[in-house]
Structure 1
Amino acid sequence: MSNLKSLLKQSSHYLTGRGLAILIGFVSFPVYARLFSVADYGVLNLAQRFTLVALAVAKLGMQNAILRFYEESSDSEDSLRRLYSTALFGTTFGGLVCSLACALFFALPTSNWIPPNIARALLFASGLVFVRAAASPIFGFLRVEGKTFAFNALDVLTRLLSLIIGVSMVRLLGSRPENLLLGLIFAESAVIGIALVFYIPRHRLAIASFDPSLFRSAMGFAAPLAASELAQTLLGSADRAFVQYYLGSEPLGYYAAACAIAIILQEALQIPLNLALVPMYVKLWHREGAEATGRFVGLTFEVFLLAACAVTAVTFAAARELIVFVNSAKYAPAAPMLGPLVAGYMFLAASVFFSAGFWVQKKTMQMARLVAVAFGVKCVLNFIMLPGMGLAGAVIPNAVGFIVLAALYGWFSHRLLPLRLSPVRCLTYVAAAAVAAFAGQMVQTPGLLLSLVARTATVLGIYSVLVVLFDARLRQWLRQLPGFRSA
């Protein structure tokens, strides 16, 4: 329990900052949706997903190398200086090369096959790739040092400045996606400057301390992870290009609106755990071995599943209310997609647990191959289903791709690090969520907000009662709380 308490403590710190960032996201998301037409919002989302794909290449996987090599470098200040300098300058150079290559491609006449409005958005998105690549190792340093306050402060500041400067640029220059992307470049560049001045020790950054040997070693570890991240990003993003190609910008706008809410919910659960979990289980593996690590990761997965099932049940029961409340009534056609998309993204969130064996055993290339398989399955399904089924032909492959990835991770990682799971407990959470979602859909009240609150409360109330009733371990944990103990 001590490791779980430590994880929950660190996760709560990240969750506090993440909660503020998500709150800003919930503000910015409807603002952006209302600033642009449905079609322009689709183009903006396509440009943002391209940024993620290019960024997976530009970062060189160095943020993962920081996690893996920090413990080995922490014995001396000279080693830390070499790690910091190598990671920061190496990633910055990689980001510059990737950004220039992308910008050159979209600026050349050979890109005439891309519609001009999309080409402009992608050109500006190329600049955002460089800025985010340069920021990646900075957040990695803060993470391994346990500077959760600084990490959260910069994360929240990034979201806040992006909203303020991005909206200002749109108001000044016009409601076009590239103007918002320009605002994001300015905002995120300012955050990098603040981080380098106030949070990163300047004596650890020197071009002379760049270590080519360390860079090669880091790349040897990180390149397969970068390939895995690229494949996983394509797994989550390539469908936007398919929807644009087969259906056009307006259907893409509806699909992007539903995906945006699903991603926010996924990240709200995954990122706080992920930020704290990976360094903890790597450390636990070195100090206590495979048995303790497998038990710890299995326990945290069950805690994650408990929360993920509750969130998924709410979205199935109140999909229309969520879409209209967060965006506007013009996005109501996206409502049927929300529940299945959230369920699929929860399988993606689970990958941080199922991939633990690959991390501790350094089998990162195998991760990349498995993600590529899941990506291939999703692409084939998109080709088959999108032309005839419309947006349902994007939703189904999306969910199936994430399910395949989680299944492959679980199957192959189990040989490297067996997780201690209770199938009965996991099935209990899933069954309770299904019953609660069905009951929530039956609730009928007048008014959008009242309906959202009533359905959410019904789902969470029924789900809580069922899991407490059938999960003896959860009842034991509740008895340890001060209020329950005194009662």
Structure 2
Amino acid sequence: MSPRPRTEAPEDTARPDEDAVASAMTGLFGRDSLYLLFWFLQVLVGALATPLATRLLGAPEFGAFAAANALMQVLCVLGGLGLQVAVQKHFAERGPDAARRLLVLGIAGAAAVTAVADLTGPWWSGPLGFGEYMGAVRLAVVWAGASAVTATVLALLRSQDRLLGFSVVSLLQSVAAEVLALAMLVVLAPTGEAFVLGRLAAQLLAVGVGLSLTRLRSLRPRDLPLVRGALLFGLPLVPAMLGSFVLGAADRFLIQEELGQAAVAQYSVAYNIAALPMLVLSVLNSVWLPRFFAAGAGADGDAVVTASRDALYRLLAPVMAGLSVAAPLVLRLWAPAEFRPDELLLVTAVVIVSAVPYTAGLSATRTLLAASRTRMIAGAAVVASVLNVALNLWWIPALGILGAALATAAAYSLQHLLLLLPTRGRPFSTTRTGLVQTLTGGALALLVVLLPVTVPGLVVRAGLALACLGWFARAYATVRSPRRKVPA
């Protein structure tokens, strides 16, 4: 059946095309899931590599790498200029040629930010706790510039729906990076610098392959309106992304300052496991953006955002409960005894539950992106990040790394509330079943911390984890095939 033609109506009274919404949902959880599948392979390799890395590096050197990695993420956001999102929006609205020209702008911006960071490195390296500007920290600067270019290339490949090219570039910067980084630890030295060097080499290879798959278009004087529009849209996303980074990673710096690198290593191991749901949601958000941009900011777009959010709520519940109940098993596999993994269960559970406000916030963000209201996104992220830093400064000295986890949950909750204000609560409806399941999953994720970590307790946990896997499979089958209403 072909979709009904849309009728002109004011945005607040228009009715969505139900066939179009159902088709979009099928695409979100169908074709788009293939992109997520390749990304899951990256996560799996990273999970397998982490136990090797923690044992080869030890806690202090792994902590040094974690801090350098956090620096890379900050500079990557600055170098990206928000253009990875702007490329996708302009692709949907103005076509592939405009998107290719914006890729050239992205390369120039990343190169400029990398050069400035490198030249000023001796000034900021010491105050940030890195010491002398050399080794892992300097390599992280170059790694950030290459990562910013790769992110924009991947955005273009995703908009073109070039699954093979997208997957090759993604796997190079992830799977190949893990392998090369581990190889460097064996061939060169078990240091954070060698670990970063391996990742940098793979990232540069990803840049080369990615650019070879795109047909760049040079910027012309008449493209000034295109550049201006892209920057007006993209630049506010820089503080928004930095705010998101502060919410997700700045606590590493504060923990390092207050508790030392060993505590950073402990928290990083726990956070890397617990943040998997949020990481998946972040990747899904990037993968889904072209489809949301195509739906637009009208009734159809709101309906797709609402349906996708409610579907994610259903899926999130078993993920949170299952990940928390299996946390002792995963932590023991990921880190040796010196990381004291059994002491990290509550920290892990609190970060896992942070995925609830994070999911809601992403839905509101998609609504604002479709309407080009990026300044609102930036404002919410900045305010939430300021709260996060303030709470970390207050709670880390008193509660240790648990304080950092609690600060993360509180900040994401505030960010969601702030994002609801400019959207006037859109998307409006939430199915009661999905919301109840999400709250149940969050409560279970916290309660299972009380289960023992003895051998019988671990057996019980393994059984509960399998039950949660079945719960997830049933929920996915439900959201994978949305019902279409039969027209009267």
Provide TM-score, normalisation by structure 1: 0.85
* Residue 77 (structure 1) aligns with: none
- The one-letter code sitting in structure 2 at the alignment partner of 1:427 is V
CA distance in 1, matches of 2:173, 2:253: 27
More moved, 119-128 vs 367-376: 119-128
Asked if 1:329 corresponds to 2:341, the answer is: no
For structure 1, which runs of at least 5 residues remain unmatched after alignment?
75-79, 481-487
RMSD (CA atoms): 3.1
* Residue 301 (structure 1) aligns with: 309
The secondary structure found in structure 1 opposite 2:29 is helix
* Residue 242 (structure 1) aligns with: 254
* Residue 16 (structure 2) aligns with: none
The secondary structure found in structure 2 opposite 1:413 is coil
Relative to 1, partners in 2 of residues 1:383 and 1:210: Cα closer, same or farther, differing over 3 Å? farther
Asked if 1:187 corresponds to 2:202, the answer is: yes
* Residue 243 (structure 2) aligns with: 231
Asked if 1:150 corresponds to 2:159, the answer is: no
Name whichever structure is richer in helix by fraction: 1
Relative to 1, partners in 2 of residues 1:246 and 1:200: Cα closer, same or farther, differing over 3 Å? same
Q: Tell me, yes or no, if the aligned pair for 2:452 and 2:458 is still in contact at 8 Å.
A: no
Asked if 1:343 corresponds to 2:360, the answer is: no
CA distance in 1, matches of 2:269, 2:433: 35
- The one-letter code sitting in structure 2 at the alignment partner of 1:421 is T
CA distance in 2, matches of 1:109, 1:406: 32
1:61 Cα offset (Å): 0.8
1:442 Cα offset (Å): 4.8
Asked if 1:277 corresponds to 2:293, the answer is: no
Q: Tell me, yes or no, if the aligned pair for 1:285 and 1:360 is still in contact at 8 Å.
A: yes
- The one-letter code sitting in structure 2 at the alignment partner of 1:296 is V
The secondary structure found in structure 1 opposite 2:177 is helix
1:459 Cα offset (Å): 4.1
CA distance in 1, matches of 2:421, 2:97: 39
* Residue 104 (structure 1) aligns with: 119
How many percent of aligned residue pairs carry the same amino acid? 20
CA distance in 2, matches of 1:337, 1:216: 44
Asked if 1:200 corresponds to 2:214, the answer is: yes
CA distance in 1, matches of 2:456, 2:357: 33
* Residue 43 (structure 1) aligns with: 64
Asked if 1:10 corresponds to 2:10, the answer is: no
1:455 Cα offset (Å): 3.3
More moved, 6-15 vs 205-214: 205-214
Matches within 5 A, 1:29-428: 29-74=50-95, 80-85=96-101, 87-107=102-122, 111=126, 114-116=129-131, 120-197=135-212, 199-201=213-215, 204-206=216-218, 211-271=223-283, 273-285=284-296, 289-290=298-299, 292-331=300-339, 332=341, 333-415=343-425, 417-423=426-432, 425-428=434-437
Relative to 1, partners in 2 of residues 1:10 and 1:318: Cα closer, same or farther, differing over 3 Å? same
1:439 Cα offset (Å): 6.8
CA distance in 2, matches of 1:381, 1:109: 24
The secondary structure found in structure 2 opposite 1:421 is coil
More moved, 252-261 vs 435-444: 435-444
Q: Tell me, yes or no, if the aligned pair for 2:313 and 2:434 is still in contact at 8 Å.
A: no
1:345 Cα offset (Å): 3.9
Q: Tell me, yes or no, if the aligned pair for 1:42 and 1:252 is still in contact at 8 Å.
A: yes
CA distance in 1, matches of 2:482, 2:446: 24
1:409 Cα offset (Å): 1.8
CA distance in 2, matches of 1:478, 1:211: 42
The secondary structure found in structure 1 opposite 2:236 is helix
- The one-letter code sitting in structure 2 at the alignment partner of 1:20 is L
- The one-letter code sitting in structure 2 at the alignment partner of 1:226 is V
CA distance in 1, matches of 2:482, 2:371: 35
* Residue 6 (structure 2) aligns with: none
Q: Tell me, yes or no, if the aligned pair for 2:83 and 2:152 is still in contact at 8 Å.
A: yes
CA distance in 2, matches of 1:126, 1:440: 39
CA deviation string 1:421-455 (max 9, x = no partner): 22454124422563587479658773897565323
More moved, 301-310 vs 439-448: 439-448
CA distance in 2, matches of 1:336, 1:110: 33
Relative to 1, partners in 2 of residues 1:69 and 1:135: Cα closer, same or farther, differing over 3 Å? same
CA distance in 1, matches of 2:448, 2:205: 48
Q: Tell me, yes or no, if the aligned pair for 1:11 and 1:275 is still in contact at 8 Å.
A: no
1:208 Cα offset (Å): 5.9
Q: Tell me, yes or no, if the aligned pair for 1:124 and 1:182 is still in contact at 8 Å.
A: yes
* Residue 19 (structure 2) aligns with: none
CA distance in 1, matches of 2:480, 2:122: 62
Relative to 1, partners in 2 of residues 1:433 and 1:394: Cα closer, same or farther, differing over 3 Å? closer
Q: Tell me, yes or no, if the aligned pair for 2:246 and 2:388 is still in contact at 8 Å.
A: no
Relative to 1, partners in 2 of residues 1:335 and 1:424: Cα closer, same or farther, differing over 3 Å? closer
1:322 Cα offset (Å): 1.7
CA distance in 2, matches of 1:436, 1:318: 10
Relative to 1, partners in 2 of residues 1:54 and 1:303: Cα closer, same or farther, differing over 3 Å? same
CA distance in 1, matches of 2:268, 2:55: 14
